[in-house]
Amino acid sequence: MYITIFKRVEDLLVFFLCLPVFLIVCIILGGLIKLEDGGPVFYKADRIGRQYKIFKMYKFRSMKVNAPQLINSDGSTYNSKNDPRVTRIGKFIRETSLDELPQLINVLKGDMSIIGPRPSLSSAIGSFRNDESDKMKALPGITGYTQAYFRNSLTNREKRLNDAYYANNMSFCLDARIFIKTIQTVVSRKGIYTNSVIFYGLMLIE
């Protein structure tokens, strides 16, 4: 009952409660992003949703226009404090997780939930092991178990196993703990970056 009905009601309630703040932040950050390099405010990317459905995920653009996408050897996205692809305002919105705020649009559309596994890159669709695939039972989330407790400090394999655990143990109490822990993690700014600035062992995705 919680997964099929109440969780969706919670998502919509949070969306409408956050809507005024979202609109104000869009105006402010949108202006700053435009002012820095004149490029688009939003970034859209294909991600894997529930039951392997591909959808467009929205973010505030934090990288320079036409920046290459770099992938670590384990399939995770490259993420560094001094990444030369990231704009000045982009660094701020990444460290504060404000770049994820436009995913409220995905929540309204039903592509995502407030809390759930972070959606994987569409290019990773055939790479899941049997003990990782249960991740796809749940709608992906703006934040999740891994992001709340570990942020970017785990390997891609560890993240997927945690996501599968969450998908098999979804409950109101677990979601409440994740929500509270997410706030603590974002405020502390721990575990933000995965890589050093040097591009080691990466694949360039066009």
Q: For helices 7-37 and 88-95, what crossing angle results, to 10°? A: 160
Q: Which tokens hold the place of 73? A: 């050897």
144-181 per-position pLDDT tens digit: 999 999 887 788 899 999 999 999 999 999 999 999 99
Rounded Cα distance between 195 and 78, Å, is 7
Residue 206 banded pLDDT, cuts 50, 70, 90: very low
